Amino acid sequence: MRGRPVSHRARRRLPWLLLACILWLPAMAQAQPPAPPRVRLLATGGTISNRAGGRLTAAQLVELIPGLDRYVTPEYEQYSNLASSYLTLDQWVGLTRRINELFRTDPGLAGIVVTSGTDTLEELAYFLDLTVHSDKPVVVVGSMRNPSTLGYEGAANLLDAFRVAADPEARGKGVLVVLNDEINAARDVTKTDALRLETFQARGYGVLGYVDRDRVTFSRTVLQRHTAQSEFDGSTLTALPRVDVLWVYQGASGDLIKAAVDLGARGLVIAGAGAGATSGTQLDGIAYALEHGVVVVMTTRTGSGRIAPFRSPRAVPSRGPLAGLTPPEFDDFIAGEDLAPVKARILLMLALTKTHDPAVIQRMFEQY
């Protein structure tokens, strides 16, 4: 069957229509919105994955997030799938090496999200804060309820984490912890409640920002050294030395401190009472540790407050963490500043991969 013949007028219009299409198509291509930023999920496990009958994989976690494609182009990989307390220090080292490798080899990657169990989330986040050598966002996220529980908040937390990792304003702020619509600095945040959703708080410092319906907002930044400005390069890290935390309580024995030294601890963190007081025979144990070349850091068990360095050897103090120590020992005793004991342990482990000089380690505690 023959079609209708093309009129003379239509034939005259064809070249102009063709020219218009040639000119219009590039404009159409330019008008297409750019693809959302690429963000990669590194799943390690934790409550956020701990579904009854089997743990959710990285792929399944991404599938749970409604509307994710509006904000990011998601990627994912399964680093591990364990409760956070079962992750080893060697796995921490492997994780920071992997993150550094991704940023080094994939310049188009906007940011990284890491899932973690909440029990040790603050420790992992601070470790990454000190060892990831990039100013691109790394966001650590978890959930307080598991996927089989009514009110599971994991998908909402993951969506928030992806949005923060993709946001240009998150660059240069160090590793971030995102739960419950709040953005906290890895250095400052701690888990404050065993069960409540609002458990992660930065006592005395406040949140960095919020994840709201319309956008991500920041109200402050972090002044201490971290990530790209850190002297601890996770891409070259191979192992971490043993550092133990010893708690101060009434009538505590220094024998536990001596035992830690004898069992191979290269550093000790003392979670002191108040502004760093010890009890019982702990000072004898600390002196034993110092005599054996073990680095000792004093912190506070109170949850906030700063342990200031004691720099003057003119008099032996009668109170505080240095009470009873002789002047030559002052230079070997590290003040933990405002770091919580578990975070002071992480900084001390990394410091001991570089030096045993007390003055240098004290400088690190003042800067990080």
Residue 34's pLDDT is: 86
Does residue 212 belong to any structural domain of this protein? yes
Average the pLDDT over 119-135 and give the result.
Answer: 98
Look at residue 28 and tell me if it is in a domain: no
- The catalytic residues are 47
Residues 199, 250 within the same domain: no
Strand partners, 21: none
According to the model, what pLDDT value does residue 333 have?
Answer: 85
- Looking at per-residue confidence, does 331 or 242 come out higher? 242
Q: How many domains does the chain have?
A: 2
Q: How many CA atoms lie less than 13 Å away from 120 in the CB half-sphere?
A: 17
Could you tell me if 30 and 23 are in contact, meaning their C-beta atoms sit under 8 angstroms apart?
A: no
> Quick check: is 57 in a domain?
yes
- Evaluate if residue 60 carries a pLDDT over 50: yes
- The residue out of 229, 262, 293 marking a domain boundary is 229
pTM: 0.88
Asked if pLDDT for residue 128 goes beyond 80, the answer is yes
Question: Residue 290 — very low, low, confident or very high, per pLDDT cuts 50/70/90?
Answer: very high
Local structure of 13: helix, strand or coil: helix
Of these ranges, 29-33, 198-202, 322-326, 327-331, the one predicted with the greatest mean pLDDT is 198-202
- Which of these three, 229, 252, 267, is where a domain ends? 229
Residue numbers of the domain that contains 308: 241-367
User: Per mean pLDDT, which range of 6-20, 35-49, 349-363 is the poorest?
Assistant: 6-20
Of the residues 183, 205, 229, which one is the last residue of a structural domain?
229
CATH at residue 289: 3.40.50.40
The answer to whether residue 306 sits within a structural domain is: yes
pLDDT of 199 reads: 97
> What residues are paired with 190 via a beta bridge?
201
> Binning pLDDT at 50, 70 and 90, where does residue 361 land?
very high
The DSSP code sequence of 20-66 is HHHHHHHHHHHHSPPPPPEEEEEEEESGGG--TTSPPPHHHHHHT-T
**Exposed (0-12), middle (13-18) or buried (19+): which is 14, by Cβ within 10 Å?**
exposed
Q: Is residue 224 part of a domain?
A: yes
Answer whether 202's CB lies under 8 Å from 189's CB. Answer: yes
Q: Determine the pLDDT at residue 328.
A: 42
d(CA 281, CA 259): 13
Same domain for 42 and 157, yes or no, is: yes
| pLDDT-above-90 percentage for the chain | 83
- Verify that 190 and 43 share a domain, yes or no: yes
CA separation for the pair 287, 298 (Å, rounded)? 13
How far is it, in rounded angstroms, from Cα 72 to Cα 159? Answer: 10
Residues 90 and 138 in one domain: yes
Kindly state whether residues 189 and 338 are assigned to the same domain: no
